[in-house]
Amino acid sequence: MADVGRGSSGIGAVSGGGREGSIMNKTILWTALVAAGLGVSGGYWLASQPTNSTGATAVQAEKKPLFYRHPMNPVVTSPVPAKDEMGMDYIPVYDESASDVNTGSVAKNSAEKPEKKILHYRHPMGLPDTSPVPKKDSMGMDYLPVFAEEENRNDAQGLRVSTEKIQRLGVKTALVENTEIAQTIRSVGSVEVDERRLTNVTLRFDGFIEKLYVNATGQSVTRGQPLFELYSPDLISAQHEYLTARNGQVALVNSKAWLQSGMKNLTDSSLERLRNWGISESELAHLVKQGKVANAVVVRSPASGIVMEKSAVSGARAMAGDLLFKIADLSQVWIIADVYEQDIGPIKLGQTVLATLDAYPDRTFKGKVGFVYPTLNLATRTVKVRVELPNPSGLLKPMMYARLEIATQAHTALAVPRSAVLESGRRTLVLVDRGEGRFEPRPVKLGLRGEEMTEILEGLREQERVVVSANFLIDAESNLKAALSGFEPADTKTHSAAPAEPSPPTHRDVGSAADGLEPSLPVGEHNHQGGM
């Protein structure tokens, strides 16, 4: 019984142990369920927290690369994914202004970044062509925006050009130095008759032209050469009066003094009248010698020259004061030039002038400034300048067209080559070479403009260097801005809390050099991209 009891007791013990095992199993099961729940909750909480790596990856997965750069050479870029010659993938470059991988605050940076003002759009290939609105070039490439912040940064900090672009553009520089400078003023004009050598042939009494000796315009005449014969009743009457008075004076030589004096006065007045009418002394002597009056008098040329005008006609009546001939002496002529208002200051009397004419392209005629007219032509904003030239051979003919070069007086001044000056209409600049590929666009004030050099009044110092070639052939403010936007600010900082928005570089073929510009992203950004 005892054994049975022990057996019973053992059986009971076994039954009690089964209950305890069941309770333990339930406890383990509940513990596992609680742990699993905690694990799921913790995983969900951890998954909801942003991390730098996953956040950046997710953001970059949603962003579109601006372009792709060479893994070993950041200057070489491609608009599409590509591989280099070693098979390495090109690295995508994203718009860093859209996300901050250091903080992961994409929306915050986008909200805080102010909107930039677009000034204009420039040609994607760097040509000096701009547009006020978005457009495409002939290859279908979008024009690139130029922002006001970039313009201000370029003007304030200068420009940077890579060595490759300097060599490709053939950039040359020259020293700013004091040198002798003389301005050559170019103008145009026409040959004119020297007004001081112009003679009009007129009569001082009425008459009738009986015979012409010079009967064609353009005919050459010499001083004293007969021009025409004239019959004049008034002249004949005056000659008779003179001869009568003179003969009476001779007849009264033995008469009373008062009679002789009266006849002498009459003779003198008759002679003076003939002289006032232009009768020469030789003709008067001939009249006294002959003792009789001729029916016609010969009118002679008062000067040598060319007959410019002729109104005398044989048989016509000529009234006192009528212009019968106009004779010009062309042994010296004028050229009347029109000089612009801004060039008139350096012109002085006696300066040497070189003239060329279409009629004689292989010859140069030398003259001098004879007079600067005191008035300005309001319509053309020019002042007339008279140039006097000798013309012994008669090659220079009135109304010929002439091109003139007026050499002004040279003086020593601070000057640069003319090709160094960039003028846009609104401002005048030079590019100052600061070394190591750095160039500063600097406003200057110009003085005298010489044939090769331009005087600098303000803005430069002696021994500075300025760019004298590859100056973009700029002639407008918009083109100037487009050209300057092809460079990078010279003093760009390598680290910035708010990096500037990068502009897509010029699209090139894969493996070719870009436009010669250093990357516009900060150095730290390049290192980050290289580690992607």
Tell me the per-residue pLDDT of 345-400, one tens digit each, with 9 for 90 and over.
889 999 999 999 999 999 999 999 999 999 999 999 999 999 999 999 999 999 99
Which tokens go with 171? 């950039």
Residues above pLDDT 90, as percent of the chain:
36
> Mean pLDDT over residues 150-167, rounded?
62
Distances (CA, A) of 95 to 99, 101, 436: 8, 11, 29
The pLDDT-based confidence of 484 (bands split at 50, 70, 90) is low
More confident call, 509 vs 104: 104
- The Cα–Cα gap between 376 and 378 comes to 6
Candidates 12, 107, 126; CA nearest to 504 is 126
- The Cα–Cα gap between 520 and 113 comes to 19
The most confident of the ranges 24-38, 186-200, 271-285, 436-450 is: 186-200
Identify each DSSP E strand in 48-100 by its residue range: 67-69, 77-78, 91-93
- The Cα–Cα gap between 22 and 273 comes to 169
More confident call, 141 vs 229: 229
Q: CB of 351 within 8 A of CB of 408? A: yes
Cβ atoms within 10 Å of 362's Cβ, excluding its own: 5
> Mean pLDDT over residues 147-165, rounded?
62
Beta-bridge partners for 177: 415
Position of tokens 């333990």?
A: 24
**Predicted TM-score of the model (pTM):** 0.53
DSSP result, 339-366:
EEGGGSTT--TT-EEEEEETTEEEEEEE
Mean pLDDT is lowest, of 18-32, 356-370, 446-460, 505-519, for 505-519
> Mean pLDDT over residues 432-457, rounded?
87
- The Cα–Cα gap between 298 and 310 comes to 17
Please check the confidence at residue 441 and state whether its pLDDT lies above 70.
Answer: yes
> Mean pLDDT over residues 26-52, rounded?
56
More confident call, 58 vs 211: 211
- The Cα–Cα gap between 383 and 376 comes to 5
- The Cα–Cα gap between 75 and 90 comes to 12
- The Cα–Cα gap between 169 and 516 comes to 10
More confident call, 59 vs 124: 124
What element of type H or E holds 402?
Answer: strand 401-407
